[in-house]
Structure 1
Amino acid sequence: MTLKRMRYNWIYTLLVYCSLTGLASCDKAELIVAEPVVEKYNPAVPSNLAASVPSPERNPTTKEGVLLGRMLFFDPILSKNGKVSCASCHQPEKAFTDGAALSTAGVSGKPLLRHVPTLANVAWMQGLFWDGGAKDLESLSFGPLTHPDEMGQNLKELAQKLQQHKKYPVLFQKAFGTDSITSAAIGRALAQFQRTIISGNSRYDKYVRNEAGGTLSEPELKGLVLFKENCSTCHTSGFFTDNQYHNNGLDNTYSEANEAMEFGRGRITGLPKDIGKYKTPTLRNIAITAPYMHDGRFDTLDQVLEHYTSGIIQSATLAPELQQHGRLGIPLTAAEKESIIQFLKTLTDEEFLKNPELLPVVE
């Protein structure tokens, strides 16, 4: 029975009751149509990140929506073969990455063409995926859900499968007030859960907030100074990303194969000036999200800093920050690179990695 039909039956029953009993009060009865009871949810946000979690009017965050999204996120029912969940690649203990350069966890077993990015603080990201191909969290999940090498799912068939499930129809009814499951509702539920994936309680954060447990050593403090001098233009403190796209000197040729995947941002905008540019990733929990770069080509942070020091490749769209003072790259000594790495390790958020609210629901 549809929600509209349920409302109609309720009103009809009340009118019949009034006519039969002749109650005067019914002449003035105000017919109030019951809406699904949901509890708005405002996730706690560390003060040095933001005041609150952004939430679009069309998809306000509720406890019922978050719970539903959380269950869907860890459920392999979302994939074509029933074996791959969102968490197959976005594993909580790895800061919602998977530890592989190019994942083979999808339904086809083929390597993906890009490295799995972290979902930490994705609620504040402006433009999603490495090239900004998704503009909001409500649309983010449809790419991996339908990609033949990821979850390989037909959205219509998925909705039908969830409709026949013993638990999901009730959960969708509680979250969205509908007894008809749609792909849009699936996307909204997943988005609500992902907005709660918040990391901001590392040792560095506690240092910034002058809290207990926020002590940084002398090498770490030196690394912080060096980081601010050399890296913070793109990795802006707070979220440690500027939410922009840059060519960081990895290549100077870009294949048009696989729908021009190597064009990066240029694949989305179609502009030559954007070819080879990729979204600045957050550096939060960077010590445990190896390998690095959009294709996972670097295994260690040492290799990453060595690239910025001596491995920059000139190209037409290379970031101007990497071609200053008559040279390519950022001049850093071995000791300075080690200090920066020591600082980056302070961005590991152990509370986030073990947060029970970000783990599978225990039924």
Structure 2
Amino acid sequence: MVEKSFPKRFFSFVLITGAILSSCDFQIEEPELPQPGPTFINMKVPEGFPTPVFQESNPLTKEGVELGRRLFYDPNISANGKVSCASCHSQHLAFSDGVALGNHGVSGNTLERHSPTLFNMVWMNNGLFWDGGSKNLESQAFGPLTHADEMGMSLQGLDAKISSNPDYVEIFFEAYEDGPTVQNVAKALALFQKTLVSAGSKYDRYFRQEENVRLSSLELKGLELVRNNCSPCHSGELFTDNQFHNNGLDDDFSDLSHEKIFLGRYRITFRDEDMGAYKTPSLRNVAITAPYMHDGRFGNLGQVLDHYSDGIKDTPYTSRMLYSEQPKPGISLTYDDKIAIIAFLKTLTDLEFIENPEFSKPYE
């Protein structure tokens, strides 16, 4: 074995260096770890759909969506602990409730308007509710939350409920820096609803030219009839123009109710052209969301088409789009035309959407 020898000056260097290090408060700096925070989500836009616009103050995050989903199905955020958003918006009915005028709220009183569907809400950027009385989903949530005949919850009561629930406190702070607040309840509910995208129907697969997906001759005839007769209002791949129209349902607008909700959008704008005008609903999933119109007066699609062919009221406020070149409003449709239109409308039913577990109740 060969022994290695080191010069004395080497040992002097080691001793001096050790002394210096031992006399210093020497610490190794650990690298900064990324701070925990919400996980941002990029929404995949279906083919043919416009680009969605999100609120800068409420970006789409995984944590916000999951919080909103939990709140959506939670009856404890109502005054009596028995009514949730899902009470009036059932997933298997494309988030409608299947009745003309519901009475699912805390008071048991019958509501004055039909519960609208909830899907493709991220593109509903021209006012919400049937009359456009709410600007966006973040503000819309406070309507049903506080309405005496819906969830009946005071904002103070809502704040107390979420702030006293340890589970909620934790997940609120995961989603929002300022934790559990009533404003963040509305924000989270809005985010969940913005993820409710319906674009997986038979029509969509046909539109995307997927293999072995065909529309029958009757369905194709119905598609052509819809495009020729209904597209002024039910336009684009969303099948709605997001506008408000008087479609000749009534000719009496002497509304004496305390909220004057039967005046349509006029209640919001006070413009004569908005008298009796209501928001155009999407035709997507229409075959499973009966009854129809803002008050649910029509029980099936045949009655809806009968209205447009023969039942439109001629008033100064009726949409001019319903007159075509005729002095009397209406759309000329034969019996066979109506059968074809209904056949096509059924191709807009999105089974993937109404069965998607990501939109279902997150807990039992």
The verdict on a shared fold, with TM-score over 0.5 as the criterion, is: yes
Distance in 2, Cα, partners of 1:45 & 1:350? 19
After TM superposition, the structure 1 = structure 2 runs for residues 145-184 of structure 1, keeping only pairs within 5 Å, are 145-179=145-179, 181-184=180-183
Alpha-carbon displacement from aligned partner over 1:274-326 (angstroms, at most 9, x marks no partner): 11000000110000000000000000000000000000101111100112322
Instruction: Could you list the structure 1 runs, at least 4 aligned residues long, displaced by more than 4 angstroms after superposition.
Output: 21-26, 32-36
Gaps of 5+ in 1: 1-20
Larger radius of gyration: 2
Alpha-carbon displacement from aligned partner over 1:228-268 (angstroms, at most 9, x marks no partner): 11001100021010011000000011213132111110001
* Counterpart residue type for residue 138 of structure 2: E
Q: 2:304: which partner in 1? A: 304
Asked if structure 2 preserves the Cα contact closer than 8 Å seen for 1:73 and 1:85, the reply is yes
Q: 2:12: which partner in 1? A: none
Q: TM-score, normalised on structure 1? A: 0.89
Q: Quick check: 1:349 aligned with 2:338? A: no
Distance in 2, Cα, partners of 1:352 & 1:87? 15
Alpha-carbon displacement from aligned partner over 1:4-35 (angstroms, at most 9, x marks no partner): xxxxxxxxxxxxxxxxx856888xx99x8975
Gaps of 5+ in 2: 1-23
Q: 2:200: which partner in 1? A: 201
CA separation of 1:69/1:274 partners in 2, compared to 1, >3 Å: closer, same or farther? same
CA separation of 1:56/1:317 partners in 2, compared to 1, >3 Å: closer, same or farther? same
- Displacement after TM superposition at 1:212 (Å): 3.3
Asked if structure 1 preserves the Cα contact closer than 8 Å seen for 2:309 and 2:330, the reply is yes
Distance in 1, Cα, partners of 2:33 & 2:187? 24
Q: 2:55: which partner in 1? A: 56
Q: 2:102: which partner in 1? A: 103
Q: 1:338: which partner in 2? A: 339
Asked if structure 1 preserves the Cα contact closer than 8 Å seen for 2:314 and 2:328, the reply is no
- Displacement after TM superposition at 1:38 (Å): 1.4
Structure 1 vs Structure 2: percent identity of aligned residues? 50
Q: Which moved more, 1:163-172 or 1:35-44?
A: 35-44
CA separation of 1:315/1:213 partners in 2, compared to 1, >3 Å: closer, same or farther? farther
SS of aligned partner of 2:178? coil
Alpha-carbon displacement from aligned partner over 1:50-79 (angstroms, at most 9, x marks no partner): 35x432110001000000000000000111
Asked if structure 2 preserves the Cα contact closer than 8 Å seen for 1:46 and 1:201, the reply is no
Q: Which moved more, 1:323-332 or 1:187-196?
A: 323-332
- Displacement after TM superposition at 1:166 (Å): 2.8
After TM superposition, the structure 1 = structure 2 runs for residues 1-363 of structure 1, keeping only pairs within 5 Å, are 36-51=36-51, 53-125=52-124, 126-179=126-179, 181-212=180-211, 214-254=213-253, 255-325=255-325, 326-362=327-363
Asked if structure 2 preserves the Cα contact closer than 8 Å seen for 1:141 and 1:187, the reply is yes
- Displacement after TM superposition at 1:161 (Å): 0.8
* Root-mean-square deviation over aligned CA pairs: 1.9
- Displacement after TM superposition at 1:214 (Å): 2.9
Q: 2:8: which partner in 1? A: none
Asked if structure 2 preserves the Cα contact closer than 8 Å seen for 1:36 and 1:173, the reply is no
Q: Which moved more, 1:81-90 or 1:264-273?
A: 264-273
